[in-house]
Each structure stands twice: as structure tokens, then as C-alpha cells.
């Protein structure tokens, strides 16, 4: 069908940033949800998972794995990777920061209850005192509507995803960051992103116990 095909569990995990970026680029995609360990083992036996891991994205005749490689490919293909080496370097830097922040949140549901209780406040503290101040400063210094250059990039999409994810845990997290508040409104209202934020889109809900149990069952972790 020509549309990229995403193979992953029916939940956010590492694949959610790929859904965001494809949606922001206005690219329709199909999804294959892993529900059983047999499905996962068959992908491995058929030689589709280079490192026996998902996300798997079939795109342009390639079976891509490794989330960052997939995201970079999509960003490069859809003009979301800036203009030139320096803009791309800034985008990579900003994306690594939001990756570090989102990775903390991603692992929460798979942590034991006492770790969850301890780590959530630490994540909010890092968001408020390390990550969001950095992006507030970046927006202030760049003085444009976007983090890099004068157009939407992978960095903007990734930061919006991270802001919404932290707000799900702490709704007032942007109260000290006026530029990020404006950024959130501006980027959320871009047509392709606005559409992805509407109910009924392929955006996934927060992970619940069922999701965690399914992933553990499939991966036997």
C-alpha cells in the first residue's frame, strides 16, 4: 500500500515518537500490534528484527529497527531535519534531551511500586529544573517560533510530545515557562499535529497494567 507499516505493541513505548513524527509530517501509516509471544518469535525467525527487538518500521522497502535511526530517516525524508549541518546538530542535541526526559517516564510503568513512587517526583524535578529551563532558554535565545531555524523540525515535535507527557503527570509543570506555554499552543495548532491530538487518531493512551503485562508476556522479561 506504500504506507509505512509499524510493528509494535498496542501502546506508546518507544514507537510513540515515531507515530508523532509521521503524523506531524502528514504521513499515514499502518500498524501491526504484537499481542502474543508467538508473533514476536515469528518476526525473529523470519529474520525481520536485526537485534531481536521492536520497534520495527517497514518503510520505502526497508525493514528498519532502532528507534533513533527510524526517526532520523523520517525527519530527513520529510524536511524536518533543518537546513544544513549546524541546524541538524542543534536538532539532534534537543532531541537527545527530550529522549532522556521521556525515557525516564517510559520506564516508570515497568518499575516496582516503590521505585515508581520515588522516581516520579524526581522526573518532575528534572523536567522543571533541568530540561524545561533549557528549552525555555533555547526558545528565548533563538527568538523564533521554532527551536531551530524558521520551520517545524523533529526537535519541535519531540519537545511537544515530551511536554504533554510530563503534563499528564504534573499539569502545572509549565507554570514558570511562558515561552514553552506559547510553543505548546503554537505547535499543537499546526494542522497535522492538531489532527493527531484529536480523539480517534493513532496516538496511544498512557500505559496501563494491561499494556505492561502484555509486553512482559511477549518479551518474557
Ligand X SMILES: N[C@@H](CCC(=O)N[C@@H](CS(=O)(=O)O)C(=O)NCC(=O)O)C(=O)O
Binding segment (CB under 6 A) for ligand X, from list 31-39, 51-59, 73-81, 176-184: 51-59
Q: Which residues pair with 65 in a beta bridge?
A: 56
Q: Which of 52, 60, 176, 208 binds ligand X (CB under 6 A)?
A: 52
The DSSP H or E segment spanning 3 is none
Instruction: Find the length of the chain.
Output: 221
Binding segment (CB under 6 A) for ligand X, from list 23-31, 52-60, 136-144, 162-170: 52-60
Q: Which of 10, 27, 32, 53 binds ligand X (CB under 6 A)?
A: 53
Smallest gap from residue 173 Cβ to ligand X (A): 25
Sequence-separated (6 or more) residues with CB below 8 Å from residue 190 = 24, 152
Quick check: 13 binds ligand X (CB under 6 A)? Answer: yes
Smallest gap from residue 188 Cβ to ligand X (A): 26
Peptide bond into 194 cis (omega under 30): no
Closest among 208, 141, 202, 209 to 4, alpha carbons compared: 202
- From CA 211, how far away is CA 139, in angstroms rounded? 36
Residues 191-220 close enough to bind ligand X by CB under 6 A: 215, 219
Quick check: 88 binds ligand X (CB under 6 A)? Answer: no
- What is the size of the binding site for ligand X (CB under 6 A)? 10
How many alpha carbons lie under 13 Å from residue 151 in its C-beta half-sphere?
Answer: 11
Quick check: 64 binds ligand X (CB under 6 A)? Answer: no
The DSSP H or E segment spanning 189 is none
Which lies closer to ligand X via its Cβ, residue 40 or residue 132?
40
Give residues in contact with ligand X (CB under 6 A).
Answer: 13-14, 52-55, 66-67, 215, 219
Amino acid at each position: 500500500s506504500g504506507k509505512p507499516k509499524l510493528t509494535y505493541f498496542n501502546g506508546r513505548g518507544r514507537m510513540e515518537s515515531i507515530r508523532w513524527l509521521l503524523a506531524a509530517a502528514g504521513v499515514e501509516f499502518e500498524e501491526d500490534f504484537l499481542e502474543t509471544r508467538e508473533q514476536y518469535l515469528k518476526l525473529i525467525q523470519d529474520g525481520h528484527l536485526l537485534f531481536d527487538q521492536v520497534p520495527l518500521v517497514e518503510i520505502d522497502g526497508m525493514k528498519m529497527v532502532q528507534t533513533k535511526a527510524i526517526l532520523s530517516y523520517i525527519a530527513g525524508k520529510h524536511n524536518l531535519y533543518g537546513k544544513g549541518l549546524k541546524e541538524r546538530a542543534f536538532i539532534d542535541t534537543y532531541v537527545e534531551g527530550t529522549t532522556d526526559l521521556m525515557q525516564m517516564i517510559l520506564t516508570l510503568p515497568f518499575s516496582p511500586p516503590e521505585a515508581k513512587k520515588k522516581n516520579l517526583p524526581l522526573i518532575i524535578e528534572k523536567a522543571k529544573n533541568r530540561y524545561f529551563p533549557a528549552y525555555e532558554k533555547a526558545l528565548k535565545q533563538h527568538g523564533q517560533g521554532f527551536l531551530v531555524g524558521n520551520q517545524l523540525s523533529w526537535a519541535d515535535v519531540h519537545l511537544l510530545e515530551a511536554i504533554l507527557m510530563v503534563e499528564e503527570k504534573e499539569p502545572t509543570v509549565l507554570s514558570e515557562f511562558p515561552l514553552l506555554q506559547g510553543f505548546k499552543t503554537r505547535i499543537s495548532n499546526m494542522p497535522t499535529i492538531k489532527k493527531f491530538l484529536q480523539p480517534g487518531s493513532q496516538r496511544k493512551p498512557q500505559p496501563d497494567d494491561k499494556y505492561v503485562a502484555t509486553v512482559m508476556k511477549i518479551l518474557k522479561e
